A and B are shown apart, each in its own frame.
Chain A
Amino acid sequence: MNDDSYEAVIGLEVHAHMLTRSKLFCGCATDFGAPPNHNVCPVCMGMPGVLPVLNRHVVELAIRTGLAAHSKIEPHSVFARKSYFYPDLPKGYQISQYDQPLCRGGYIELPAREGEARRIRLVRIHLEEDAGKNIHAESASLVDFNRSGVPLMEIVSEPDIRSPEEAVAYLHELREMLRSLGASDGKMEEGSLRCDVNVSVRPRGATELGARTEIKNLNSFRFVEKAIVYEVNRQIEEVAAGRRIPQETHLWDPEREVTRPMRSKEFANDYRYFPEPDLPPLIVPSDLVENIRTAMPEMPAERRARYIREFELSAYEAGVLTSELEVAEYFEAMLPGLRNRKSAANWVMTEVLRAANESAKPLTEAAPKPQETGALLKMVEKSQISLNAAKSAFAAMCRSGKGAEATVAELGLTQVSDETAIAEACDRVLAAESAKLAEYRAGRDKLYGFFVGAVMKAMGGKGNPKVVNEVLRRKLAG
Chain B
Amino acid sequence: MGSELNRLTITEARERLRRREITSRELTRDCLERIAAVEPRLNAFITVSETEAMAQAEAADRRFAQGDAPDLCGIPLGIKDIYCTRGVRTTCASKILGDFTPPFDATVIEKLRVAGAVFVGKTNLDEFAMGSSTENSAFGPTRNPHDLERVAGGSSGGSAAAVAADECLAALGTDTGGSIRLPASYCGVTGIKPTYSRVSRYGVIAYASSLDQVGPFARTVRDAAMVLRAVAGADPRDSTCSARPVPDYEAALTGEVRGMRIGVPREYFVEGMDAAVEAAVRGSLKKLEAMGARTVEISLPHTSYAVAAYYLIATAEASANLARYDGVRYGLRVAADNNIELYNRTRAQGFGAEVKRRIMLGTFALSAGYYDAYYLKGQKVRTLIRRDFERAFASCDLIAAPVAPTTAFRLGEKTDDPLKMYLSDIFTISVNLAGLPGMSVPCGADGHGMPIGLQLIGPPFGEEAILRAGDAWERSGGFAPRTPQL
Q: Name A's B-contacting residues (CB within 8 A).
A: 42, 45-54, 81, 83, 85-87, 90-93, 141, 143, 270, 272-274, 277-280
- Nearest-CB distance from A148 to chain B (Å)? 10
Closest chain B residue, CB of each to CB of A270:
B368
With a CB–CB cut-off of 8 A, which chain A residues contact B238? 51, 53
Interface pairs (13), CB distance under 8 Å: A42-B102, A42-B103, A42-B104, A48-B205, A48-B206, A54-B239, A83-B323, A87-B328, A90-B328, A91-B323, A274-B320, A274-B366, A278-B206
- Nearest-CB distance from A132 to chain B (Å)? 10
- Nearest-CB distance from B358 to chain A (Å)? 15
CA of A227 to CA of B263, assembled, Å: 69
Known A47-B330, A48-B97; contact A53-B104, beta-carbon cutoff 8 A:
no
CA of A341 to CA of B202, assembled, Å: 59
CA of A81 to CA of B319, assembled, Å: 11
B371 CB–A CB distance under 8 Å? yes
- Nearest-CB distance from B109 to chain A (Å)? 10
With a CB–CB cut-off of 8 A, which chain B residues contact A47? 84, 102-104, 330
CA of A53 to CA of B83, assembled, Å: 19
- A274 adjacent to B316 (CB under 8 Å): yes
With a CB–CB cut-off of 8 A, which chain B residues contact A48? 84, 90, 92, 97, 100, 102, 205-206, 324
With a CB–CB cut-off of 8 A, which chain B residues contact A49? 82-84, 102, 106, 201-206
- Nearest-CB distance from B431 to chain A (Å)? 17
Known A46-B324, A85-B323, A272-B320; contact A53-B330, beta-carbon cutoff 8 A:
no
User: Which 4 pairs show the lowest CB-CB distances between chains A and B?
Assistant: A92-B323, A277-B209, A272-B366, A277-B210
CA of A91 to CA of B206, assembled, Å: 12
B61 CB–A CB distance under 8 Å? no
Known A47-B330, A49-B84, A272-B367; contact A278-B324, beta-carbon cutoff 8 A:
no
CA of A279 to CA of B326, assembled, Å: 23
CA of A86 to CA of B106, assembled, Å: 27
- A87 adjacent to B326 (CB under 8 Å): yes
With a CB–CB cut-off of 8 A, which chain B residues contact A143? 328-329
With a CB–CB cut-off of 8 A, which chain A residues contact B106? 49
Q: A54-B239, A274-B320 are in contact. List 9 more A-B contacts (CB 8 A).
A: A42-B102, A47-B104, A48-B100, A49-B201, A52-B239, A85-B343, A93-B323, A143-B329, A272-B319
Query: B188-244: which residues lie under 8 A (CB-CB) from chain A?
Result: 201-206, 208-210, 236-240
Closest chain B residue, CB of each to CB of A83:
B320
CA of A85 to CA of B329, assembled, Å: 13
With a CB–CB cut-off of 8 A, which chain B residues contact A90? 324, 328-329
CA of A81 to CA of B209, assembled, Å: 12
B166 CB–A CB distance under 8 Å? no
CA of A93 to CA of B328, assembled, Å: 14
B317 CB–A CB distance under 8 Å? yes
Closest chain B residue, CB of each to CB of A93:
B320
Closest chain A residue, CB of each to CB of B235:
A51
With a CB–CB cut-off of 8 A, which chain A residues contact B210? 277
Size category of the B interface is 35 or more
Partner of B239, one of A42, A81, A274, A278: A278
CA of A270 to CA of B370, assembled, Å: 11
Partner of B324, one of A91, A279, A280: A91
- Nearest-CB distance from A75 to chain B (Å)? 18
CA of A49 to CA of B237, assembled, Å: 11
CA of A434 to CA of B237, assembled, Å: 94
- Nearest-CB distance from A28 to chain B (Å)? 14
- Nearest-CB distance from A80 to chain B (Å)? 10
- B209 adjacent to A270 (CB under 8 Å): no
B363 CB–A CB distance under 8 Å? yes
CA of A92 to CA of B239, assembled, Å: 21
CA of A141 to CA of B335, assembled, Å: 13
Closest chain A residue, CB of each to CB of B90:
A48
With a CB–CB cut-off of 8 A, which chain B residues contact A45? 329
- B329 adjacent to A46 (CB under 8 Å): yes
Number of A-B contacts (CB under 8 A): 104
Partner of B367, one of A85, A270, A278: A270
B11 CB–A CB distance under 8 Å? no
CA of A332 to CA of B271, assembled, Å: 84
Closest chain B residue, CB of each to CB of A25:
B239
With a CB–CB cut-off of 8 A, which chain B residues contact A51? 201-202, 237-240
- B320 adjacent to A81 (CB under 8 Å): yes
- A92 adjacent to B326 (CB under 8 Å): yes
CA of A85 to CA of B209, assembled, Å: 20
Contact flags B350-372 to A (C-beta < 8 A → 1, else 0): 00000000000001001110010
Most buried by A among B104, B236, B324, B368: B324
CA of A81 to CA of B321, assembled, Å: 10
Closest chain A residue, CB of each to CB of B209:
A277
With a CB–CB cut-off of 8 A, which chain A residues contact B100? 48
Most buried by A among B103, B210, B326: B326
CA of A53 to CA of B237, assembled, Å: 6
Closest chain B residue, CB of each to CB of A276:
B209
CA of A163 to CA of B237, assembled, Å: 47
CA of A52 to CA of B239, assembled, Å: 7
B254 CB–A CB distance under 8 Å? no
CA of A277 to CA of B83, assembled, Å: 19
With a CB–CB cut-off of 8 A, which chain B residues contact A277? 208-210, 240, 317
With a CB–CB cut-off of 8 A, which chain A residues contact B102? 42, 47-49
With a CB–CB cut-off of 8 A, which chain A residues contact B92? 48
With a CB–CB cut-off of 8 A, which chain A residues contact B366? 83, 272-274
With a CB–CB cut-off of 8 A, which chain B residues contact A42? 102-104
Query: B76-106: which residues lie under 8 A (CB-CB) from chain A?
Result: 82-84, 90, 92, 97, 100, 102-104, 106
CA of A42 to CA of B100, assembled, Å: 13
B339 CB–A CB distance under 8 Å? yes
Closest chain A residue, CB of each to CB of B92:
A48
Closest chain A residue, CB of each to CB of B94:
A48
With a CB–CB cut-off of 8 A, which chain A residues contact B83? 49
- Nearest-CB distance from A82 to chain B (Å)? 9
B375 CB–A CB distance under 8 Å? yes
- Nearest-CB distance from A158 to chain B (Å)? 24
Closest chain B residue, CB of each to CB of A91:
B324
With a CB–CB cut-off of 8 A, which chain A residues contact B239? 51-54, 278-280
CA of A143 to CA of B84, assembled, Å: 24
- Nearest-CB distance from A352 to chain B (Å)? 48
Most buried by A among B82, B210, B320, B371: B320
CA of A92 to CA of B82, assembled, Å: 20
CA of A85 to CA of B320, assembled, Å: 10
Most buried by B among A48, A92, A141, A278: A48
- Nearest-CB distance from A86 to chain B (Å)? 8
CA of A210 to CA of B265, assembled, Å: 59
- Nearest-CB distance from B477 to chain A (Å)? 41
Partner of B209, one of A92, A141, A272, A278: A278
With a CB–CB cut-off of 8 A, which chain A residues contact B339? 85-87, 141
- Nearest-CB distance from B377 to chain A (Å)? 13
Known A42-B103, A81-B320, A92-B320; contact A50-B367, beta-carbon cutoff 8 A:
no
With a CB–CB cut-off of 8 A, which chain A residues contact B367? 270, 272
Known A272-B363, A274-B316; contact A50-B202, beta-carbon cutoff 8 A:
yes
CA of A93 to CA of B366, assembled, Å: 13
- Nearest-CB distance from A129 to chain B (Å)? 14
With a CB–CB cut-off of 8 A, which chain B residues contact A91? 320, 323-324
Closest chain A residue, CB of each to CB of B317:
A277
CA of A440 to CA of B310, assembled, Å: 107
CA of A354 to CA of B336, assembled, Å: 56
- Nearest-CB distance from A54 to chain B (Å)? 7
Contact flags B289-325 to A (C-beta < 8 A → 1, else 0): 0000000000000000000000000001101101110
- Nearest-CB distance from A83 to chain B (Å)? 5
- A274 adjacent to B375 (CB under 8 Å): yes
- Nearest-CB distance from B179 to chain A (Å)? 16
CA of A154 to CA of B198, assembled, Å: 35
- B203 adjacent to A85 (CB under 8 Å): no
- Nearest-CB distance from B168 to chain A (Å)? 22
CA of A249 to CA of B227, assembled, Å: 55
